[in-house]
């Protein structure tokens, strides 16, 4: 289904759109339903050009003639029995407004009218192609009403009677059928053609009225090909009943052809004249003044006669303006022709044959339009004058007129002329330069072992407790625990070496944690007599169970190759305490700090031989020992506990010899206490 709203917008001229809007405004103000009907809808649906507008309202339009005049309409005629007004709006829009009605024919061509609805009004019309309507009411704008399926007959390009007795009831439909077929090239439907022949043979045409004759004669002048229609009516014999004096021989055939050529040239130049008045002058060119006067008196509307009579005066007035000083320049003459009445321009172009006038029209059609093509768009773009700049269309018109008059011979003159329309240059873009920091990452060499250095340096689950407690976890401890989990079958040497290397790097750099000062030995020495005086044994470190054997061990240093005597009974404990306060107690009086967790390597004790790094690798690492090392040679050993005071870096860098480990293990053995002579 086509979009008839879009067809209304595309098929109607601007003047016809204004007339339609003005009519709907008047109807809505009086709360009247209004429809576009008749030939206008037929032309819109078929795709032909719209010649006039037929409006049907459900009211009597004769009662609001003043409202129409205030809206800008000019009343050119009226027919009171059918309640019809003939209007003009603007220069070209012709319109008929009539009341919706039904018709009965007690006599041929003498109808009786009765007000009715829009559907009944469509059913009383002549042909189905003319029995359609488009709603112009708010809420149903563009709605097509086609109760008799007129669109199918338009697609079939045929005329079909609405009523089987249509030609007999209203014989003027015989003339209308010939005129429509001559204009559109359609044919009558088979039964319609039979009824047409019957009405023609019976002489039904004799019953037409004077109003109907004048209306159909005037419609010939509004046709696009009036001479063709005139010949078709003459061949059917209908022109003899309309106007016996007006025939095809009365027309200026050559003048009509030349007028049509001038009309097409004006259309291409942008002017849209209505050629009806000029055509009527040429169609009746060979009639005598008396015959022409009788013909004009039969017309129902007066606008065609008035326009044809005024053509000579309007053309003469236009010629005076064209030869005046104000129109000496081409641009001035261009503006004059576009502002003048198009019908006057057409008649002057057709009727005046002087060389000066014809040269001006020749330049108007051929030479002056080329000035538009001379506009240098590249220069306008360089000056930043683009279509979105304010006043761009005005500048193009001024440049066109300047090129018409030859006022811009060079590019410099063009730039100077267009300079007021050039917008200021935009500011240069601000470039923000951001400094880019290049981070150089050095990756350590990967060891040849199964585990990479990255995996070896990552803390295991056992180290998470130290990290959560806020203590520093050295890479050496991580490497030591990794070697413990791996077992003797693995290769802990690579992980240990990497841990020692990382520990040395950390010790060399600045530490984020400030090392705590180590307590002096004097304070520990003062605490010993107090413990002795109390009579209680002093236990410096609680024995722990080793992971390997599950037994209580009195020391965390690697076991020597010899056997360790287990601590049993109160006597042996007393002997260990006495030995701690004896000779060896003099060597170191420092009370060891509590250790968070001790790591005992199961491979620390090897029969016969001890690894070179067993002493340092399996020693428990404390926060103080890792941060602030003690000078060498000041290691205090107490009962079953070995406290490492050497720096971690040195311990990792100096592998312990076999002799040193055996000596430390031998010293850690508890000696039995000698019995006193008492």
Domain stops at, among 197, 223, 250: 197
Is pLDDT at 190 greater than 70 in this prediction? yes
Q: Which of 197, 224, 246 is the last residue of a domain?
A: 197
Residue 437 lies in a domain: no
Q: How far apart are CA 188 and CA 186, in angstroms?
A: 7
Alpha-carbon separation of residue 490 from 125, 194, 557, 601 (angstroms): 111, 117, 22, 13
Residue 10 has what pLDDT? Answer: 85
Angle formed at CA 49 by CA 45 and CA 50, multiple of 5 degrees? 80
Residue 654 lies in a domain: no
Q: How much is the average pLDDT of 310-335? A: 92
Cα 447 to Cα 401, 456, 469, 651: the distances in Å are 88, 10, 31, 22
pLDDT at 502: 53
**Residues 360 and 463 grouped into a single domain:** no
- Quote the pLDDT of residue 398: 92
440 occurs within a structural domain: no
Residues 331, 473 within the same domain: no
Are residues 135 and 143 in contact, defined by beta-carbon separation less than 8 angstroms? yes
Q: Is residue 516 a part of any domain in this protein? A: no
Lowest-confidence pick of 211-225, 358-372, 416-430, 561-575: 561-575
pLDDT digits (tens, 9 = 90+) for 453-484: 444 444 444 444 444 444 444 544 444 444 44
Confidence at residue 426, expressed as pLDDT on a 0 to 100 scale:
83
Three-class DSSP labels, 211-271: HHHHHHHHHHHCCCCHHHHHHHHHHHCCHHHHCCCCCHHHCCHHHHHHHHHHHHHHHHHCC
- Asked if 359 and 457 sit in the same domain, the reply is no
Indicate the pLDDT class of residue 489, thresholds 50, 70 and 90. very low
Q: 3-state DSSP call for residue 17?
A: helix
> Could you tell me if 615 and 661 are in contact, meaning their C-beta atoms sit under 8 angstroms apart?
yes
Number of domains present in the structure of the chain: 3
Res 635 pLDDT > 80: no
pLDDT given for residue 290 in this prediction: 93
- In angstroms, the CA 600 to CA 558 distance is 8
Query: What's the confidence (pLDDT) of residue 569?
Result: 59
Answer whether 84's CB lies under 8 Å from 98's CB: yes
Q: Report yes or no on 336 lying in a domain.
A: yes
- Say yes or no to pLDDT of 596 above 90: no
pLDDT at residue 98 is higher than 60: yes
Residue 24 has pLDDT above 60, yes or no: yes
Mean pLDDT for all residues in the chain: 76
Q: Is residue 669 part of a domain?
A: no
Q: How confident is the model at residue 433 (pLDDT cuts 50, 70, 90)?
A: confident
Give the pLDDT confidence score for residue 608 in this predicted structure. Answer: 44
- Asked if residue 23 and residue 81 are part of one domain, the reply reads yes
pLDDT value of residue 203: 92
Q: What is the pLDDT of residue 93?
A: 87
Q: What number is the average pLDDT over the span 59-79?
A: 92
Backbone φ and ψ for 480, nearest 5 degrees, come out as -65, -45
Residues 13 and 156 in one domain: yes
CB atoms within 10 A of CB 213: 18
Higher pLDDT: 610 or 283? It is: 283
Picking from 436, 466, 499, the residue at the C-terminal end of a domain is 499
Looking at the predicted structure, is the pLDDT value of residue 452 above 50? no
Assess whether 337 and 468 both reside in one domain.
Answer: no
Q: What is the DSSP letter of 365?
A: I
Q: Are residues 393 and 471 in the same domain?
A: no
Integer angstrom CA distances of residue 232 from 185, 191, 236, 243:
12, 21, 6, 14
Q: State the average pLDDT over residues 254-273.
A: 93
Q: What is residue 417's predicted lDDT score, i.e. its pLDDT?
A: 93
Task: Write down the pLDDT at residue 575.
Answer: 62
- At 483 the pLDDT is 45
Q: Is the pLDDT reported for residue 68 higher than 60?
A: yes
In a domain, 209, yes or no: no
CATH number at residue 26: 3.30.460.10
For 334, the domain range is 325-421
- Residue 449 vs residue 383, higher pLDDT: 383
What 3 state SS string does 595-616 have?
CCCCCCCCCCCCCCCCCCCHHH
Residues 40 and 129 both lie in one domain: yes
CA nearest to 648, candidates 511, 504, 458, 459: 504
Count of alpha carbons within 13 angstroms of residue 370, beta-carbon side: 5
Phi and psi of 37, rounded to 5°? -135, 180
Is 462 found in the same domain as 416? no
Clarify whether residues 193 and 79 are in a common domain: yes
Residues 133 and 92 in one domain: yes
CB contact at 8 A, 568 and 519: no
Residues 11 and 138 grouped into a single domain: yes
Q: Is residue 94 in some structural domain?
A: yes
């Amino acid at each position: 289904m086509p979009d008839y709203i879009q067809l209304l917008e595309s098929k109607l001229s601007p003047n016809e759109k204004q007339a339609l809007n003005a009519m709907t405004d008047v109807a809505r103000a009086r709360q009247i339903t209004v429809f576009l009907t008749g030939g206008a809808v037929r032309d819109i649906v078929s795709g032909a050009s719209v010649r006039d507008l037929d409006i049907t309202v459900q009211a009597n339009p004769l009662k609001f003639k003043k409202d129409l005049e205030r809206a800008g309409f000019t009343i050119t005629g009226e027919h009171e029995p059918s309640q019809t007004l003939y209007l003009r709006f603007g220069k070209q829009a012709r319109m008929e407004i009539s009341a919706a009605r039904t018709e009965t024919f007690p006599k041929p061509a003498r109808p009786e009218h009765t007000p009715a609805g829009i559907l009944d009004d469509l059913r009383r019309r002549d042909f189905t192609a003319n029995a359609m309507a488009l709603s112009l009411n708010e809420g149903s704008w563009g709605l097509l009403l086609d109760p008799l399926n007129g669109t199918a007959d338009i697609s079939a390009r045929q005329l079909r009677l609405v009523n089987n007795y249509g030609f007999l009831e209203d014989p003027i439909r015989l003339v209308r059928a010939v005129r429509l077929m001559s204009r559109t090239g359609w044919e009558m439907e088979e039964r319609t053609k039979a009824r047409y022949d019957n009405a023609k043979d019976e002489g039904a045409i004799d019953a037409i009225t004077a109003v109907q004759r004048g209306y159909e004669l005037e419609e010939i002048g509004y046709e696009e090909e009036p001479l063709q229609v005139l010949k078709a009516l003459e061949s059917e014999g209908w022109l003899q009943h309309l106007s016996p004096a007006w025939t095809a021989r009365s027309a200026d055939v050559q003048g009509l052809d030349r007028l049509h050529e001038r009309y097409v040239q004006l259309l291409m130049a942008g002017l849209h004249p209505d050629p009806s008045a000029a055509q009527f002058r040429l169609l009746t060119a060979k009639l005598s003044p008396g015959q022409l006067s009788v013909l004009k008196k039969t017309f129902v509307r007066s606008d065609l006669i008035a326009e044809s009579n005024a053509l000579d005066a309007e053309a003469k007035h236009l010629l005076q303006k064209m030869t005046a000083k104000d129109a000496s320049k081409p641009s001035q003459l261009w503006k004059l022709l576009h502002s003048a009445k198009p019908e006057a321009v057409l008649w002057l172009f057709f009727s005046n044959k002087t060389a000066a006038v014809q040269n001006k029209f020749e330049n108007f059609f051929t030479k002056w339009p080329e000035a538009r093509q001379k506009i240098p768009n590249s220069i306008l773009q360089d000056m930043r004058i683009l279509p979105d700049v304010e006043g761009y269309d005005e500048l193009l018109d001024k440049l066109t007129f300047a090129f018409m008059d030859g006022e811009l011979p060079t590019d410099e003159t063009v730039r100077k002329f267009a300079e007021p329309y050039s917008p200021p240059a935009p500011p240069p873009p601000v470039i923000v330069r951001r400094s880019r920091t290049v981070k150089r990452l050095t990756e350590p060499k990967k060891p040849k072992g199964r585990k990479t250095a990255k995996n070896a340096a990552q803390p295991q689950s056992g180290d998470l407790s130290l990290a959560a407690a806020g203590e520093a976890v050295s890479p050496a401890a991580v490497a030591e625990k990794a070697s413990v989990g791996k077992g003797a079958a693995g290769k802990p040497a690579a992980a240990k070496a990497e841990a020692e290397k990382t520990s040395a790097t950390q010790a060399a750099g600045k530490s984020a944690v400030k090392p705590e000062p180590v307590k002096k030995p004097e304070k520990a020495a003062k605490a010993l007599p107090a413990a002795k005086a109390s009579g209680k044994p002093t236990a410096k470190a609680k024995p722990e169970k080793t992971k390997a054997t599950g037994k209580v061990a009195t020391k965390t240093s690697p076991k020597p190759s010899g056997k360790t005597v287990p601590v049993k009974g109160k006597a042996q404990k007393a002997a260990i305490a006495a030995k701690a306060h004896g000779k060896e107690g003099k060597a170191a009086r420092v009370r060891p700090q509590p250790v968070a967790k001790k790591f005992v390597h199961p491979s620390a004790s090897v029969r016969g031989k001890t690894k070179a790094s067993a002493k340092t690798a399996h020693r428990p690492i404390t926060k103080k020992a890792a941060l602030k090392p003690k000078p060498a040679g000041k290691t205090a050993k107490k009962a079953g506990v070995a406290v490492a005071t050497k720096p971690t870096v040195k311990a990792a860098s100096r592998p312990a010899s076999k002799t040193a480990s055996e000596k430390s293990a031998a010293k850690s053995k508890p000696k039995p206490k000698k019995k006193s002579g008492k």
